[in-house]
């Protein structure tokens, strides 16, 4: 049940979003960038976490460059948040116009022609919300797994926003029951799989050379239902528009299911790392990616403090 605090937070949020929605999309996006930058300075929200993780991922990077990437990450988060919030009130054409192209779409079009579902995986990179919406706007029947927000009013608003973008939202506690039916119906499932959540089935794989707890779900489902596994990411280009990166991942079975799952988790994590190395300021460094590690992790590979 929503508390008084929840209601006040929700009213304030909707008031701010209404202001952004009244602006041209490009202007709203730029204002989001400046708001995001305020999180770096003067507010300093998780600034130490962001900078120490960037420095750990790119050892030897000068401090001024670490700061530059960090500021870019805050800008990107601000733009991503605003764009995702306001695009649901715009047309499908407006959404498609935010992308200037994709990598080879053939693997996706072949799935659509065959009426077959797939497992799509991404990270908190670029604009993951718009990437999913773009895929759905291109005709892919797509369901996305989401965790509930602490504020139930805000949670319901986010769900409605995603649904208006053409996505079917499945909350994590309902996923085990929903996913098999979705695959039988030829739908694809989208996972954001780069955060080690407590209690979620995960494995430890290298991310920038350090063991990082990573969800196993996408790999498990791809193997269990013999479905294609495709890594995707919507990355902002110099033009201000996005490009959808598409990386099909080879799903092979050796007969050892546990090893196969771990190999796939490592594979899609390696794809994400490759893209983050190219666009480091578009990653969500605000999350403590190496917070949970195996007890045997060497001191030099532990979470940077």
Residue length of the chain: 305
The pLDDT of residue 18 is: 85
Burial 151-169 (b: 16+ CB within 10 A, else e): bebbbebbbebbeebbbbb
The pLDDT of residue 77 is: 96
The pLDDT of residue 121 is: 98
Task: Choose among 217, 283, 223, 281: nearest CA to 254.
Answer: 223
The pLDDT of residue 10 is: 85
The pLDDT of residue 12 is: 86
The pLDDT of residue 166 is: 84
For the chain (length 305 residues), average pLDDT per consecutive 10? Answer: 86 85 90 95 97 97 98 96 86 92 95 93 96 95 88 86 86 88 95 89 97 97 96 96 97 96 98 98 98 96 94
Helix, strand, coil % over all residues of the chain, rounded to 5:
50, 15, 30
The pLDDT of residue 9 is: 84
User: Do residues 107 and 230 lie in contact, with contact meaning Cβ atoms separated by under 8 Å?
Assistant: yes
The pLDDT of residue 101 is: 93
Rg (CA), the chain: 19
| Distance, CA of 67 to CA of 44 (rounded, Å) | 12
In order of 40, 113, 123, 162, 258, the CA distances from 158 in angstroms are 25, 31, 18, 6, 35
- The residue segments making up the domain with residue 29 are 4-301
Instruction: Give the count of domains, the chain.
Output: 1
């Amino acid at each position: 049940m929503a508390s008084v605090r929840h209601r006040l937070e929700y009213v304030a949020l909707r008031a701010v979003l209404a202001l952004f929605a009244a602006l041209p999309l490009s202007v709203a996006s730029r204002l989001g960038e400046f708001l995001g930058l305020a999180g770096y300075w003067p507010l300093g929200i998780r600034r130490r976490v962001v900078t120490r993780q960037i420095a750990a991922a790119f050892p030897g990077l000068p401090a001024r460059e670490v700061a530059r990437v960090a500021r870019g990450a805050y800008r990107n988060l601000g733009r991503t948040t605003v764009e995702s919030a306001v695009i649901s009130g715009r047309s499908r054409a407006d959404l498609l116009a935010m992308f200037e192209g994709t990598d080879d779409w053939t693997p996706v079009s072949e799935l659509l022609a065959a009426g077959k579902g797939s497992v799509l995986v991404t990270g908190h990179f670029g604009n993951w919300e718009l990437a999913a919406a773009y895929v759905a706007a291109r005709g892919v029947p797509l369901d996305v797994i989401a965790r509930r927000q602490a504020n139930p009013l805000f949670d319901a608003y986010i769900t409605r926003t995603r649904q208006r973008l053409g996505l079917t939202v499945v909350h994590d506690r309902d996923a085990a029951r929903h996913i098999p039916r979705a695959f039988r119906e030829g739908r694809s499932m989208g996972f954001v799989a780069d955060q080690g959540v407590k209690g979620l089935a995960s494995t430890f794989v290298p991310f920038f050379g350090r063991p990082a707890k990573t969800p196993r779900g996408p790999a498990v489902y791809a193997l269990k239902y013999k479905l294609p596994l495709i890594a995707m990411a919507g990355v902002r280009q110099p033009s201000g528009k996005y490009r959808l990166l598409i990386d099909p991942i080879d799903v092979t079975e050796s007969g050892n299911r546990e090893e196969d799952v771990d190999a796939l988790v490592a594979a899609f994590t390696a794809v994400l790392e490759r893209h983050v190395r190219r666009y480091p300021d578009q990653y969500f460094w605000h999350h403590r990616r190496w917070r949970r590690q195996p007890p045997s992790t060497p001191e030099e590979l532990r979470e940077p403090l």
